[in-house]
Amino acid sequence: MSERIRVLVVDDSALMRKLIPAILARDSSIEVVGTAMDGAFALKKIEELQPDVVTLDLEMPRMDGMEMLRLIMRRAPLPVILFSTHSKEGGYATLKALAMGAVDFLAKPKDAAAGHLENIADQLIAKIKVAKRAVGRKLPPAVVGEDLHPPKKGNRATLPPRRVIAIGISTGGPNALQFVLSQIPADFLSTILVVQHMPEGFTEMFAKRLDECCALEVHEARSGDLLLAGRVLICPGNRHMMVRRMPRGDMAILSDGPPVNGHRPSADVLFHSVAQEFGLTSVGILMTGMGDDGAEGLGAIKAAGGMTVAQSEDTCVVSGMPRAAIVKGYANKIIPLDGLGAYLVNNYGVERSATEKNEKNEKSDKHDKIERTPVPSQRS
């Protein structure tokens, strides 16, 4: 039997310090070795108890979670799972803490103060197990610090995109996306659609944070948003995002369909839609995250003639999502995190050469002939 995962629970609420260990006790592979009521006590207990994973409340007296996290990452980094409130302040603090090195976060239920944690019990247990496996895997630091000025947004020409690039991402995603998108210039010729597994209420703040530190235009998607060159649309939490080709322009469409692969939003929903609507001009990218959401959708993009990319496993915080596509042969390319930005800019962000245009036209003509040729044997 493998060693149990040693967890330290840090929360200023005495109720939470009882409830969280109680729900973790359901899993025999997890052992709560201690609790602490604030950051100062927690740092001492980390030295004393040597936990594998820390669950951390950000809002605490004396030394809050943000300061504690900063000291943990400076002294001896270890996996931290954040407990965050649904408030605007809590959301921004969570995104900042993720950029500082926290592995993942879990939103506290609105009725958590009444002792209702049942709905998040399985999620917390799963995230702790993932955090333990993520030891030693570290994303690049946040590209833009609070002391730096964000890039200025100029007036943009509303141009149709050269390519429609769909990204599916989960655990480790906020920092990874910021790292990649910050390397892409404002005159990027393609559009980017992102499904980040994140609860409702956090994606709007996440989009604003990315918009502040990137040259691209980034915002939370709304139904009817046009797909434009240099625009990044983040799917809202608890919605699905699809695409449609319409007379007035290609656009994003949101839906309240049932969860797919246990997720809403789901990368599979977006990828299948992009494959169906854009075929040869679609690009699918699966990045860091646990589970297998997006693998089959990436296969659909490949089957439609689009380009498919998986982030290399060794550069993921959690490699489940890209690995699921890689082992099925759905990824045309496997690229490390630090190479994704350059790959996008070099292949989909600059004007096509005359040779490339001719090659594309020839490929399209050939594709059209194949599409128009009846194949009775395949229809029987």
Catalytic residues, by residue number, are: 170, 197, 293
How far apart are the C-alpha atoms of 231 and 222, rounded to whole Å?
13
The closest of 171, 172, 174 to 203, measured between CA atoms, is: 174
How far apart are the C-alpha atoms of 48 and 363, rounded to whole Å?
64
Backbone angles phi, psi at 193, to 5 degrees: -115, 130
Q: State the burial class of residue 71 (Cβ atoms within 10 Å of its Cβ: 0-12, 13-18, 19+).
A: middle
How far apart are the C-alpha atoms of 343 and 317, rounded to whole Å?
20
DSSP code per residue over 267-305: HHHHHHHHHHHHGGGEEEEE-S-SS-TTHHHHHHHHHTT
Angle CA(164)–CA(98)–CA(171) in degrees, nearest 5? 55
- Copy the structure tokens of residue 377: 């044997």
Angle CA(203)–CA(127)–CA(11) in degrees, nearest 5? 85
Q: In this structure, how many other beta carbons lie within 10 angstroms of the beta carbon of residue 62?
A: 11
How far apart are the C-alpha atoms of 161 and 231, rounded to whole Å?
9
